[in-house]
Chain A
């Protein structure tokens, strides 16, 4: 059922700074990892993904780093903008993006002007 009073971890950054959002995943057998951005009242929006045979992947203003040794995933956002304010979720899959995803708890990113 619904949990009352649950708060998402929050990361506050100044506009123009770089943001780093971290995620610990659970299954060492996971082969695929993905980051989604969710704005209030909307569905998750794809940001970037990475396979387990890679440790880094770059997109436009975003970089995903994967450390399989400690089961850690991070999302780096360069030159953070107000429009980046949202909740960010990591997710993992045993096989790929088109299959079952297990989502992390999420991080609220707040960009201060």
Chain B
């Protein structure tokens, strides 16, 4: 149980393109989804927290107009990297949880974004 699916797994695109990444909870309803960014050989850095039906809460230093997050249903959240540039190239990972305190977050397998 507690499967989180992320799509696509890899994206290669030109500079200036906007890229959408989907995160789905397959067998549970996710009250909260989280988006992380991870550079090679580094830890996961939280970008934003999204709750179904409300605006995402962004971490300090993360541009909300650059990284658009939509959490339209209890099973789907999307991250759109707008007008992507090479410095946005990274591994983006989502996680989902269905209760606030008692259960661990479950992670998707990430999206490798490469901007040429």
Contact = CB atoms under 8 A, between A and B. Distances in A.
Interface residues of B, number: 33
Given A96-B100, A97-B102, A97-B103, A43 B43 contact: no
A67 B91 CA distance: 32
Contact of A49 (B44, B46, B104): B104
Nearest to A47: B104
Given A43-B93, A43-B109, A100-B46, A34 B104 contact: yes
A46 B39 CA distance: 20
Interface size class of A (residues with CB under 8 A): 20 to 34
Contacts of A104: 43
Contact of B104 (A8, A41, A46): A46
Interface of B: 4, 6, 31-32, 34, 39-46, 49, 87, 90, 93, 95, 97-110, 112
